[in-house]
Structure 1
Amino acid sequence: MTLLVFGTTGQVATELRARAQGAIFLGRDAADLGDPAGCAAAIRAHAPTAVINAAAYTAVDKAEEEEALATLVNGAAPTAMAEACADLGIPFVHISTDYVFAGDGDAPWSPDDPTGPLGAYGRSKLIGEEGVRSAGGTHAILRTSWVFSPHGANFVKTMLRLGAEREKLTIIADQIGGPTAAGRIAVACLAIAEQLTQDPDKRGTYHFSGAPDASWADFAREIFAQAGLPCVVEDIPTSAYPTPAKRPSNSRLDCAATQATFGIDRPDWKSDLTETLQILSRNKGIDR
């Protein structure tokens, strides 16, 4: 399989670079997602046998002010990529998000549940999903949530920094989801791309997140416990921590179809957290 990956520095892209030896990785200098036509041209020029899009506009709050840009990057660019892949008859794997859902209730979201994004970021990602499907090619949309890793900006690294500075932190306890290690997402994307080349009938929309589901406060407590930090977590409601973009309260994802179709189980995020902390400790918290 000759693999082309959009993205080089994001959490999942970094993990893909560590695992997909020989793959072609295109950063912003080679393929700017602000230029959808250029992204499609890059696919045609390299003529790979599969494509993974691991690049996106991910500034959730800033997207409220830059919705046009977010929609260009998260909507038009993956649509153009999917159309190019469809023309070439090759699989396209696209990473999406729990933010396409309204986040109400407490049941895990199934891939075919009605969407209803609460903000600009979610709307932009949903437009991308719709474009990928409408392209008509072999594709997999993989929705995930609460991504963490030893590199880049993420909740784990923020908690380690703040937990070392403060005796107590107030953390939101009424948003529930599945923390997911970027390395696990990378492995899932590679497996899905490989299987789609063999069986295009596996195309569709899937979910992938860590287990068990937890609140941000639960997540923080586990980080501090594993890191040996004495910082105390005080639970607060979302209303006590307003942000420009509204977050979904329920980010639980039903991942049964991913397991049944691709044989990929939900990973244990606590075990993945242990590995992440070990890497950060070895690197003294510095990104790889």
Structure 2
Amino acid sequence: MTPPALLIPGGRGQVGVELAGLARGARNGLVHAPGSGELDVTDSAALTDAVDSFTDAAADSGLRPVVVNLAAYTAVDAAESDSATAAGVNSTAPATLARICRKRGVPLVHVSTDYVFSGDARQPYEPEDETGPRSVYGRTKLDGERAVLDIHPRSWVVRTAWVYGAAGANFVSSMVRLEGERETLSVADDQFGSPTWAADLAGGLLELAESVVRRDAPHRVLHCTNSGVASRYEFARAVFEELGADPERVRPVPSSEVPRPAPRPAFSVLSDRKWTDSGLTGLRPWRQALNAAFRHHGTRWPGR
């Protein structure tokens, strides 16, 4: 199959780097993955020019373009006191991008988050379950989802969770750094989710992009994470194990003992049932993925 041409706003983040590398290396397709320094997604004229020029380049190459939007304001705690900036990137920009893509007839895959849910569930969230974000970050991401789906009939929202990779700040890179700085570490044992390696998520997004140029995926809101469930405490212990450090140095505490400005969902496990129902490949278990990530990245982890 001829690969799709991919325009990836937010392409310098941890998932964008993986997606661009995978698309270029395995499919040899046309890929443009600008970071925020190259493409300001809050600038509607710049967005229009980026989509127009990329769509024209794809046509010249005989390829069908897909936009995968990874641009986001992800500073969850900072968003609590910087809601205007968070809304501009997470809500207004996706709406603008959806209008531009609709006008040019380009499919849009928009990546979102588990933070759109309240975290009160006791079983994995399905895409159609009631949302109820408790943070500015979650609310702005939910507004962005709704705008994309309302504006562009050929758009898909992919929610993910607990993403880590070597290209940016995340839970794993923090644990790697703190393992070298502290004798013991207190980590919440009452927050549960599915740790997701950026490279595995990128593979899923590429598969979806390839799918939507062949046919429309039957479900427009999808969940994609590595499978299985872990607490933050269990996740931290697993990182220590991968480092060859004693996991007993990680101590379990309730979230109340490690307060943050933005509340975290206590339970944010996402069901991939509609992902696999759409004919897409489910991601491997989170513990296998973490081991593979450390084997792949080795000493390249930030802070190590």
Please give the TM-score of this superposition, normalised by the length of structure 2: 0.89
Give the Å deviation of 1:29. Answer: 3.4
Range 109-118 or range 46-55, more displaced: 46-55
Deviations 1:172-198 (A, max 9, x none): 010100000001111111111111111
Amino acid at match of 1:26: P
Q: Aligned letter for 2:180? A: A
What is the rounded CA distance, in whole Å, between the counterparts of 1:29 and 1:215 in structure 2?
35
Which whole-Å deviations, capped at 9, do the CAs of 1:8-46 have from their partners, x for residues lacking one? 321001101211213112222332022244313321232
The list of structure 1 runs, each at least 4 consecutive aligned residues, that deviate by more than 3 angstroms after superposition, is none
Larger mean CA deviation between 83-92 and 245-254 belongs to 83-92
Question: Secondary structure, in 3 states, of the residue corresponding to 1:9?
Answer: coil
Instruction: Answer yes or no: is 1:29 the counterpart of 2:37.
Output: yes
| Counterpart among 179, 191, 206 of residue 175 in structure 1 | 191
8 Å contact from structure 1 (residues 97, 122) kept in 2: yes
- For residue 217 of structure 1, give the secondary structure of its aligned residue in structure 2: helix
Unaligned 5+ runs, structure 1: none
Shift in Å, 1:238: 1.0
| Match for residue 260 of structure 1 among 249, 257, 277 | 277
* CA displacement, residues 198-239 of structure 1 (integer Å, 9 cap, x when unaligned): 112535000011221110000011111222102522111111
1:127-159 per-position Cα deviation (integer Å, ceiling 9, x unaligned): 100110111321110000000112211111111
Match of 1:219 in 2: 235
Letter in 2 for 1:32: D
Q: Which residue of 2 aligns with 1:233?
A: 250
In structure 1, the partner of 2:62 is none
Looking at structure 2, the residues matched to 259 and 201 of structure 1 have their Cα atoms a distance apart, in angstroms, of 11
1:251–1:215 distance in 2 versus 1, CA, 3 Å:
same
Asked whether the 8 Å contact 1:164–1:229 carries over to 2, the reply is no
Q: 1:80 aligns with which of 71, 96, 107?
A: 96
Alignment of 1:1-288 (within 5 A): 1-21=4-24, 22-47=30-55, 48=58, 49-231=65-247, 232-283=249-300, 285-286=301-302
Give distance in 1, aligned partners of 2:219 and 2:92: 20
Which stretch of structure 1 is more off in the superposition, 199-208 or 114-123?
Answer: 199-208
Any idea what SS the aligned residue of 2:112 has?
strand
TM-score under structure 1 length normalisation: 0.94
State the match for 2:61 in structure 1.
none
Q: Deviations over 1:31-88 (max 9, x none)?
A: 2022244313321232152110111110000001111110110111111111211122
Name structure 2 gaps, 5 residues minimum.
Answer: 25-29, 59-64
Q: Distance in 2 between matches of 1:271 and 1:70?
A: 33
Give the whole-Å Cα distance in 2 for the aligned partners of 1:130 and 1:166. 42
Q: Is the alpha carbon distance of 1:125 and 1:210 closer, same or farther for their aligned partners in structure 2, counting shifts above 3 Å?
A: same
Contact 1:192 1:262 in 2 (8 A): no
Q: Which amino acid aligns with 2:275?
A: T
Change beyond 3 A, Cα 1:70–1:152: same
Q: Which moved more, 1:150-159 or 1:211-220?
A: 150-159
2:120 is paired with a residue of what secondary structure?
coil
Structure 2 distance, partners of 1:278, 1:272, is: 10
* CA distance in structure 2 between the aligned counterparts of 1:159 and 1:286, rounded to whole angstroms: 10
Q: What SS does the corresponding residue of 2:141 show, helix, strand or coil?
A: helix
Change (3 A) 1:201 1:155: closer
Aligned-CA RMSD value: 1.6
SS of aligned partner of 2:96: helix
